[in-house]
Structure 1
Amino acid sequence: MQELDQDEEVIWHMLPLFCNVVYYTARQERAKLLPQLLEARQRVRQSGSHFAATRVIQWLALSAEEAGQLHLAYQESRAVLDRIEQTASYALLKGYFKDVLAVRRSW
């Protein structure tokens, strides 16, 4: 139960970041979020919340792709897909990462 409370707290701390993602996505300027998302990735990895880490890496991969940093987008997507398949969790998010990988292959 304590793990769920910790997970919930991490997710609440992600709310401002989520608002920024929505704002910059609507403006088609998601690439501007890369520094903030790289920092957030480190924080959520330390938190131990798999859901939060998966979501932040999803945003990071999509932002990196938009910024033309395809290697970073590929690395992050591949790592998360491996984790999703190993743990059989968050399967609904697999499509985002597979889209990023498909863009990399077509490049």
Structure 2
Amino acid sequence: MDLHEIYLELRPEDIAYVKFIFESYEGVGIIRTVLRQAQHGEHGRTVERKKAVIVLLVVDDFLNVARSILDSFQKEVPLMEIPRPDDIGDDWLLRELAVTNKPFNP
């Protein structure tokens, strides 16, 4: 059984909503936040992120269901599927997946 990584770029304020919806479909997928922290610009000033990156981890059996849920979000939540970012932060699970899984390109 393969594990699929679906990386999504969205507004930081939409992370909780997307996670809540996927959690309500028990067993379909797991959401993990990849990037949401503020970035620092010139002279150490904090620059707000206008986009966040999350990953939806889905097994083969639920891939079609997960894709259908993502399609339904298009009317409510602006999100875009993206390739796996080079910087996946310090999440041990995502680092392990990056080593064991081939890169994903939508």
- TM-score tier, shorter chain, comes to 0.3 to 0.5
The structure with the greater share of residues assigned to helix is 1
TM-score, normalization by structure 2: 0.36
The structure with the greater share of residues assigned to strand is 2
Q: Which has the larger radius of gyration?
A: 2
TM-score, normalization by structure 1: 0.36
